[in-house]
Structure 1
Amino acid sequence: MPRRSYDQYCAIARALDAVGDRWTLLIARELLAGPRRYTDLHTDLPGVSTDMLATRLKDMERDGVLARRKLPPPASVSVYELTDHGRALLPVLTALAAWGAPALAERQPTDAIRAHWFALPLLHRLGHLAAGHEGVVDVVLEEGGFHLVFGAAEPSYGDGPAERADARLVVDADTCVALTQGTLTVADGIAAGAVELTGAGPLAEALRGAGS
């Protein structure tokens, strides 16, 4: 198919030419945690058809947003991963998450949920609290878990527990939404019994003692 374009000499229009199609930014969201197989992407993008996913992946590869590579034996499977150009979408997606957070006030019965969908907004919120501290925080929800990495040049996150974590945060989905919206602090959540935070060291203490 020919590439569609807004045909506008505008940076926003050019960006949307590359990532403005339905599903593209959500694919980027999935890949920010690291390389994923096609089947993994399809599982964590409920509602996308196989044809649409394949088309978007080809488009994103063409535009230099992602790359496909084959893992060495014994895996011998292909994975998709963001290029440096694609990873530069992190602040864009972080801003979108912050802008869209108020819309999470009410969960619809048809809404799918994955634990790692909270990673970006929580990374943004806890990043303010953890400023100046280095370390890794495991986050555990009933729906699954992920880990947040602070102190690097660019904060990041990954699927599942980290090999070594400096703190462990256990919350439910509603509490996680409140934390990301800023209507609940970690300290108040701990006091109310809605947040369980374990770990020692400067990062854990910064999260425990943060009031905003």
Structure 2
Amino acid sequence: MPRQQQPSAARPARRRSYDQFCATARALDSVGDRWTLLIVRELLGGPRRYTDLHADLPGVSTDVLASRLKDMEQTGLALRRKLPPPSGASVYELTARGHALRPVLAALAEWGAPALAERRPTDAVRAHWFALPLLRALEGVGHAGVLEVRLAEGVFHLHVGGGAGAVLPGAETYGPVYGYGPADRPDARIVLDAEVCLELARGGATFAETVKDGRVEVAGEGPLAAGLRGS
């Protein structure tokens, strides 16, 4: 008679908690895994398909990305939904709790900016990775609107406005603070290079100074463009 197979031992569940009654530890229970905060960074720009996320997270394996997205759904940071016809594709997007991590990402970007003194040969780059540092540099802009940003690495757009501490358009409903590609109807456009973005992120110059010395070109005729020019 064939020998009966012994049931395989159940695999132990992966440890998911530091088991510490501490707000920082609880936060890291949710976002402390490798890649999770970078997925949040990508989803701050709006809903994205799995394939788009994988393309803009060079170095992540498909298994790890799928696992992190599942974890984010379970912890209430993100959700998956199906787009209506004719697309029918599934996209991932942040929940309100996920969007609330934007100040955390902005603070990390500010803290890490000095480490970007030199781009290593193995470093990937995407234009929209400069979105959060640019938003901080533009906090003093006195007019709200959509700003299209053009770099050699690509194009993205920002929702800016209102001055320091202002509520960004869409923030009331936790909408995206930046978007991928050109804007449909931008209120202004700027052209600059990655080095200027890095200088702004490190605090080496103000946005007004880079406009004045010609390293940032501003296009547009409305109030936002005028504010960016300092007029």
Displacement after TM superposition at 1:197 (Å): 1.0
The reply on whether 1:123 has 2:144 as its aligned counterpart is no
Does the aligned pair in 2 maintain the 1:186–1:208 contact within 8 Å?
Answer: no
The reply on whether 1:62 has 2:74 as its aligned counterpart is yes
Residue range with higher mean Cα deviation, 143-152 or 168-177? 143-152
Which residues of 2 match residues 45-84 of structure 1 at below 5 A? 45-84=57-96
The reply on whether 1:140 has 2:154 as its aligned counterpart is no
Change (3 A) 1:176 1:25: same
Give the match for residue 87 of structure 1.
99
The reply on whether 1:37 has 2:58 as its aligned counterpart is no
Displacement after TM superposition at 1:4 (Å): 1.4
The reply on whether 1:12 has 2:24 as its aligned counterpart is yes
Q: Deviations over 1:76-96 (max 9, x none)?
A: 111000011101111111111
Counterpart CA distance in 1 for 2:143 and 2:154 is: 25
Which AA in structure 1 matches 2:104?
Answer: V
Which AA in structure 2 matches 1:84?
Answer: A
How well do the aligned residues superpose, as a CA RMSD in angstroms?
A: 1.6
Displacement after TM superposition at 1:3 (Å): 4.5
Name the % identity: 67
Counterpart CA distance in 1 for 2:23 and 2:187 is: 40
Partner SS state of residue 138, structure 2: helix
The reply on whether 1:149 has 2:186 as its aligned counterpart is no
Does the aligned pair in 2 maintain the 1:68–1:78 contact within 8 Å?
Answer: yes
Which AA in structure 2 matches 1:153?
Answer: V
Decide which structure has greater helix share.
1
Counterpart CA distance in 1 for 2:212 and 2:223 is: 20
Does the aligned pair in 1 maintain the 2:156–2:178 contact within 8 Å?
Answer: yes
Q: Provide runs of 4+ in structure 1 moved above 6 Å.
A: none
Give the match for residue 105 of structure 1.
117
Counterpart CA distance in 2 for 1:77 and 1:136 is: 27
Q: Give the structure-1-normalised TM-score.
A: 0.92
What stretches of structure 1 of length at least 5 have no aligned partner?
none
Which AA in structure 2 matches 1:79?
Answer: V
Counterpart CA distance in 2 for 1:19 and 1:187 is: 36
Does the aligned pair in 2 maintain the 1:102–1:181 contact within 8 Å?
Answer: yes
Partner SS state of residue 94, structure 1: helix
Displacement after TM superposition at 1:13 (Å): 0.5
The reply on whether 1:114 has 2:135 as its aligned counterpart is no
Give the match for residue 179 of structure 1.
200
Does the aligned pair in 1 maintain the 2:133–2:197 contact within 8 Å?
Answer: no
Correspondent of 1:197 among 200, 211, 218: 218
Counterpart CA distance in 2 for 1:202 and 1:195 is: 17
The reply on whether 1:21 has 2:33 as its aligned counterpart is yes
Q: Give the structure-2-normalised TM-score.
A: 0.85
Counterpart CA distance in 2 for 1:145 and 1:66 is: 25
Counterpart CA distance in 2 for 1:154 and 1:133 is: 11
Counterpart CA distance in 2 for 1:85 and 1:199 is: 35
